[in-house]
Amino acid sequence: MGQKTAFIYDERYFWHDTGSSVLFLPPGEFLQPDGTAESPDSKRRVKNLLERSKFIRKLTVMEPRSATLEEVESFHTPAYVERIKRLSDSGGGDAGGFTPFGPGSYEIALLSAGGAITAVDAVMQGQVDNAYALTRPPGHHAQADSGAGYCIFNNVVIAAHHARRTYGLKRIMVLDWDVHHGNGTEDAFYADPDTLFVSLHQENNFPNDRGYMEHTGEGEGMGTTLNIPLYAGTSDAGYLYAFEKLIVPIAEQFQPELILISAGQDANNYDPLARMMVTADGFHRMASIVKQLADRVCQGRVVACHEGGYSTAYVPFCTLRVIEALRGEDSGVPDPFLVSLANMPRINQLLPHQKEQIDQIARIHTAYWKIG
């Protein structure tokens, strides 16, 4: 018998309209309009795969509620929230940093933040052991007064504030394995000694001026920001080495009471907005490590919130593996891409330059933590 795992989604998540673009650029004279990379398909197909495999029957399906203004403004400025509402009511606009949205997206963004809150409530109240919220729009790039990178409201930050305010938690860990740096989340907690923020991301991808290994926090929060920029081409082996060398030993010393995951499955081998080589099995192994860590330090409390992931073909399989790991049960769905992935050179090798990058980060953090 596996763990009791919540799965939280709403059809309205898939109705958030990001308009047309060319990958992440607006259409132009020589750029023919196309659907945005952040389309509903990669998220809706997660739900579809769960239904097609019948694995959804093993999950506790929950409907999200909308976040309140007070909850959203625990991080975002009232002026920013009002601007998003005004634009949404008048047909749409841009939240900032090329984050286009259409009419009704204000309400959907509140529902997305509310999905993260619903997941926290379900875990903290003991209704389930852990939870996966298929939140859309995503959140980890959103800053207090601006959106960015398809993110309108910062779902994980809002959920963390809710967990503290409602349940009196002190120490919270936010693990962001989205391939892009979680700059908005980092901003929220950069000086906070009670939040351990960990970001695994492709070096200099997006935003290209954030997420350096030397960025370790400020003031009382020195050492509680752990940036792990990884070289393009890093595969499962590099990510797992980062968990072994850095993430697990630091988290065990930090002793969080709740672990929030910004679960962007865009480090996968087929993603159009990244150059990494993580397989669905790699995501399963990372999620399993987090689940085992949570069992040791925080009564198994894990909440994962969906972030990026733009391969409509492969993201559903990667996300299914994350949910399988949280549930502790195999869905029986094979990875149809495994044969082609297995033939790629170095897919499961930790290369010397990748190891040295992680070891260098470890040397920086020996000032704050005991790392073997």
Per-residue pLDDT, 223? 98
Cα torsion through 167, 193, 113, 104, rounded to 10: 140
Q: Which residues of 334-355 are buried (b: 16+ CB within 10 A; e: fewer)?
A: ebebeeebeeeeebbebeeebe
| Cα 123 from Cα 49, distance rounded (Å) | 24
Cα torsion through 41, 44, 47, 48, rounded to 10: -60
Q: What is the pLDDT of residues 229-271, one digit of tens each?
A: 999 999 999 999 999 999 999 999 999 999 999 999 999 999 9
The answer to the question of residue 336 being in a domain is yes
User: Considering its fold, how many domains does the chain have in total?
Assistant: 1
Mean pLDDT of 165-183: 98
Per-residue pLDDT, 1? 57
The answer to the question of residue 245 being in a domain is yes
Entry pTM? 0.97
Q: How confident is the model at residue 74 (pLDDT cuts 50, 70, 90)?
A: very high
The answer to the question of residue 244 being in a domain is yes
Please check whether residue 322 is in contact with residue 305, taking contact to mean a CB–CB distance below 8 angstroms: no
| Exposure of 295 in the CB half-sphere (CA atoms within 13 A) | 11
The answer to the question of residue 20 being in a domain is no
Q: Residue 103, preceding bond cis, omega within 30 degrees?
A: no
Q: What is the pLDDT of residues 264-283, one digit of tens each?
A: 999 999 999 999 999 999 99
Q: Show the domain range for 186.
A: 5-12+35-365
> Which residues form the catalytic set?
141
Per-residue pLDDT, 330? 97
Q: What is the pLDDT of residues 79-107, one digit of tens each?
A: 999 999 999 999 999 999 989 999 999 99
**Which one is predicted more confidently, 341 or 47?**
47
Please check whether residue 136 is in contact with residue 107, taking contact to mean a CB–CB distance below 8 angstroms: no
Residue 254: CB atoms within 10 A of its CB come to 20
Q: What is the pLDDT of residues 108-137, one digit of tens each?
A: 999 999 999 999 999 999 999 999 999 999
Please check whether residue 307 is in contact with residue 178, taking contact to mean a CB–CB distance below 8 angstroms: yes
Q: How confident is the model at residue 345 (pLDDT cuts 50, 70, 90)?
A: low
The answer to the question of residue 323 being in a domain is yes
The answer to the question of residue 99 being in a domain is yes
| Cα 307 from Cα 145, distance rounded (Å) | 19
Q: How confident is the model at residue 48 (pLDDT cuts 50, 70, 90)?
A: very high
Q: In this structure, what CATH number is given to the domain that contains residue 143?
A: 3.40.800.20
Q: What is the pLDDT of residues 202-217, one digit of tens each?
A: 999 999 899 999 999 9
H/E stretch holding 197: strand 195-202
Q: What is the pLDDT of residues 14-28, one digit of tens each?
A: 999 998 878 778 888
